[in-house]
Structure 1
Amino acid sequence: MNDPIRGTARGSAPAPLSVLDTALAGRGVSAADALSGSIALAELAERRGFTRYWVTEHHSMPGVSSSSPAVLLARLTAHTTRLRLGAGGVMLPNHPPLIVAEQYGLLQALAPDRIDLGLGRAPGTNQATAAALRRGRSDDDFPQQVVELLRFLDDDFPEEHPYRERVYAVPGPGQDKENGLPQTTGRPSVWLLGSSGYSAQLAARLGLPFAFAAHFSPDHVAGALRLYRDRFTPSAVLTEPYALASFAVMAADDEHEALRQTRSYAHSMMRMLHGKSYLVPTADEAASYPYTASEQLVLDRWTNTVLHGTPDRVTVHLDRLHEAARPDEIMIASVGHTPQALLRSTELIADAYTLPSTPVPVSAR
């Protein structure tokens, strides 16, 4: 059985490596093409020995297609056999905890001991879309939502609780009990996600693994991981802290192409921060755009958050960041305009770290 948390494969990398995917749909790329790219990326991650593949949850963003991680992950269970699959993550205030428990219990039944459930409290979208999703719910009770979700996954509401023996997350341990079976699968590995100290402290208090979104906030990763480790309380699922950090990367065969792809991504972030839709232009469109002074500042800032260049240069940056923050695992989020560019970036990094290439079992093809 795979360890539900700790990664093992690392090659010459400083820590186990994993992949974060957004199902990119840049200008001129259809959702079908983006999702085919995600399938190819997950297959590559399994073939090259990455520890896990996570998909994000975003809404109202033309540049991404991952509005429903659970649906995409269900498809990927048929294309992989060893790779851990998960949400990075489910934006819990967007969903009733029972629905999330049932979706990821179903995934766990499809792919036992391979499912990760990362939980975040951000909307994953703009405020207008968040209002449409949440219908008055807020993220103020996020800790209570997490606890309720864990109780659904474990079927362990206290005696006096109205859900006790009346509400079950199916599939799950309550279903097994009612059907006269021992528990047939474990629960998904639950993680907390964040880009600040808030979720770091909550993960520490609950004794859960923690994933820090350094692709959004690279300057704060070391402090957040230190806070998580300093305040960690052992739990039934984790006796000592375990943290990963995700970094935005773009490796290409030459520096110029890496910069062109990176600026396509940076342009999309610039658009979003100026109140426009998250749309990833082609590299040529980004290069020819007439930036104002303020737009150029935002473009440069987001370009600099991406570790871009030749694979050797990207891995040197990853090694330095690992040395500074000491995450137990590194997750790479390749960014750019096309699924092909993201796939090539991931493969180049695997090559640079000499990750082995192993055959994919026939059952996963």
Structure 2
Amino acid sequence: MYMRSPNAKVLVREERVVLCNTRNGGFVKTSEAYFQYLEKYLEENNGEFTIKEEDTVVKKNAYKLFQELCRIHFYISEEQMKNEITYPYQIVYLSLTNRCNLRCKHCVASACIEEVDHMNTENWKKAINQVLILNPKEINLTGGEPLIRSDFCEILEYLRGNYKGAITLSTNALLLNDRLMEIIKKNVDGVSVSLDGFDSYSCTKVRGEGIYDRVIAGIKKLKEAGMEKVSVSMLETKYTYGHDQDFYKLCEELDVKPLIRRFAPSGRGEENQRELLPPMEYIEKLEKQHLRCSLCQPGKKELNISENGDVYPCAPLSNLENLFMGNLLETPIIEIIENPAWKEELEKLRPWRMEKCKDCDVNLFCHSCINFTLGMQSDEEIFQKFCEKQKGHLEKLLWGN
């Protein structure tokens, strides 16, 4: 017996439909008539579809459509349903602190040096014990700047001693020293360094004077110490727009993996979005073969543990009180993730529920990150310009208009 996946969504324009799986991003375009025929057939045949040699061309074509929709898990079997609604956690972020030795213009956490640490070493060990119950594939140590904590090494070694999965570290690489390097190399599987530019000027505009050379020096320390898995990220802003190749060349010279991150106007980024947003022309970089309707899965594939033990679906959404899931020092983690309240609030932020977007027939291809969309909507003028440009481009790619 086959049924619609809970991740199945339909976009309609005139007599055409786009049938989407918002979990894996797969989609199929067809006529509304064929889709209605298929839906009716499945309803009348208890979710089963059989085909014979003597069947009509219409039925045979509907069967081909059915096979395509099963391939993208638009339709799923009863056995597949469990996997479709159960998400093994890919990653849990431990935001060890909101203190940071920088004050970057885009920081979603608005981290700064004046912040205080809310959890001591023992509390973080208790929090880690809770997280390990979920057995995520990866645990990322982040901040703020995690290396700013005097007990960072103790927390890291405790985690490594009790967890067999991948441990990654997100850092600005400014505080690295020989002692830290030795412990990081021994206990961490990969390091992600934020540079946010491709040269001194672009980095300075976001992170401050003199930071570029110091970060590059930190990256070189990691490589010289023998860290194999090092990635370096650049933020897509008006200062880096059009310089992807320059960034890739820099990363090749440093022998690191390049990552280009989309600017999201939240936290301090909301205050500075008019300065940092890249030109709207970047929207046109999206090509037809790269179209996807996959939505982010905060709270399902990932979690963020804030510096005080509060749990949120993801780090960028940690500023939304209605998405507070619970506190690890007060509530068992299984009880936290099974609480329906945060799931209901998260659902309200989906494109089919968001007031400004719910009637749009390309919204599933526009909304890939809730935080980015909320940030754009915080400035009505910018949002309208973005929406007009994005919608026009997606309409051409998706509907051929």
Greater RCO structure (CA 8 Å; 6+ sep): 1
TM, length-normalised to structure 2: 0.35
The normalised TM-score by structure 1 is 0.37
